Structure 1
Amino acid sequence: MELLKAVLDKISYNLRERNETISVAESVTSGFLQLAFSQMPGAEKFFKGGITAYTLEQKVKHFNIDYDKARAANCVSREICEAMSQNVALIFDTDWSIATTGYATPVPESDNEIFAYYSIAYRGTIIRSDKIELHHLTKPMDAQHYFMDYILGCLRCEVKRNHSTISI
């Protein structure tokens, strides 16, 4: 838990120092990222909010996802995740945004695998997008925690970098 606190403190520090803001679009992490941001020092200065959209219909409605593409991928793909990330930034008018989608339990739609896509955007540009894969016997809550920890670690690295050359 102490490691997570250090990561949260560093993200908070960097966002406040640059006077930058962030928003979150979650599915597989079910609000864990939003909870983490609410625990950061000075969160009210940089965390504008988030949306947890679990179903295809809600992802289409809130994140401007193409219905046919969403249906074909069961709303779980790198492309869907990147669109979620870019659109949540527009909704909340933020510099930074994060999105997650995937499976925390093995189901037929995931070929019985546990995985998540995540996307980090800065000023509308995707700067990091990847897939996290876990063992199929990982417990759902453990998977969600791992996804959150991993993504926050990636964000910490990105906010340390100077992305100011990226224009809107």
Structure 2
Amino acid sequence: MILKPSKIDLTIEQIHVKSFVHFLVELQNLLEFIGEELTALNETVSVAESVTSGFLQFSFSQVKDAGRFFKGGMTAYTLDENISLFHISDDEASFCNGVSPNIAEVMALEVASRYESDWSIAVTGYTVPVKESQNKLYAFFSISRHGKIILSEKLDLHSRTLPLKAQLYYSEFILGCFKLELDKIKFDQQAV
């Protein structure tokens, strides 16, 4: 006996597919805008990731002529790699399990320095509720420009958010914030 999905199941599945397609289209538009703005500014960006597992780097690589503005990135998923790659103190990393506002800022500044990029984005956090996060989902991210942190924020998600959705949400939100920072630079330059 072969079971066929009900009309309700198909409708829910179609909604999920349409939502995902809409997400991808919006993400592509956002990335194209970011690429155009960075190219117009003649500036570059690099990325340091933990919780998003390279999704930001992947996203930047999808933009036309990404090599003109995207210098590269580093993904450190374990505590030991965070300590090693970003020169974070053992004590600090162990105390907060590698997830704190300060660690996001250190990651942003370190990746900008290593890649000699004008901008950098860093993110660390959780996609699954664990004891170390008090069973909550959250991430800290930082954006730097010319060696200075210009934005640091915390993102909170519902603890039942699926890991993939958490990574996508973190990534889209961070890229949206990056776009706003680029808008500020563009506005300031036009005002002069």
**TM bucket, shorter chain:** over 0.9
* Pair 1:23-2:46 in alignment: yes
Percent of residue pairs identical: 47
- SS of the residue 2:185 aligns to: coil
Separation of aligned partners in 1, 2:82 and 2:135: 22
Structure 2 length-normalised TM: 0.83
Code of the residue aligned with 2:137 in structure 1: it is I
Greater helix content: 2
Aligned residues: 165
Larger radius of gyration: 2
Code of the residue aligned with 1:64 in structure 2: it is H
CA shift, 1:2, in A, is: 1.6
Q: RMSD value over aligned CA atoms?
A: 1.3
Other-structure match for 2:124: 101
Residue by residue, what CA displacement relative to the aligned partner does 1:63-96 show, whole Å, maximum 9, x if unpaired?
A: 1111111111111000001000000001100000
CA shift, 1:33, in A, is: 0.2
Kindly report which structure 2 residues correspond to 1:120-135, keeping only aligned pairs within 5 A, or say none.
120-135=143-158
Residue by residue, what CA displacement relative to the aligned partner does 1:88-140 show, whole Å, maximum 9, x if unpaired?
A: 00110000000000000001111000111110000111111000000000000
* Pair 1:159-2:182 in alignment: yes
CA shift, 1:159, in A, is: 1.3
Other-structure match for 2:164: 141
Kindly report which structure 2 residues correspond to 1:2-13, keeping only aligned pairs within 5 A, or say none.
2-13=25-36
Separation of aligned partners in 2, 1:58 and 1:91: 16
Within the candidate set 11, 14, 37, 2:37 is matched to 14
Structure 1 length-normalised TM: 0.95
- Relative contact order: is structure 1 or structure 2 higher (C-alpha 8 Å, sep ≥ 6)? 1
Moved more, 61-70 or 144-153: 61-70
- SS of the residue 2:104 aligns to: helix
Other-structure match for 2:139: 116
Code of the residue aligned with 1:26 in structure 2: it is E
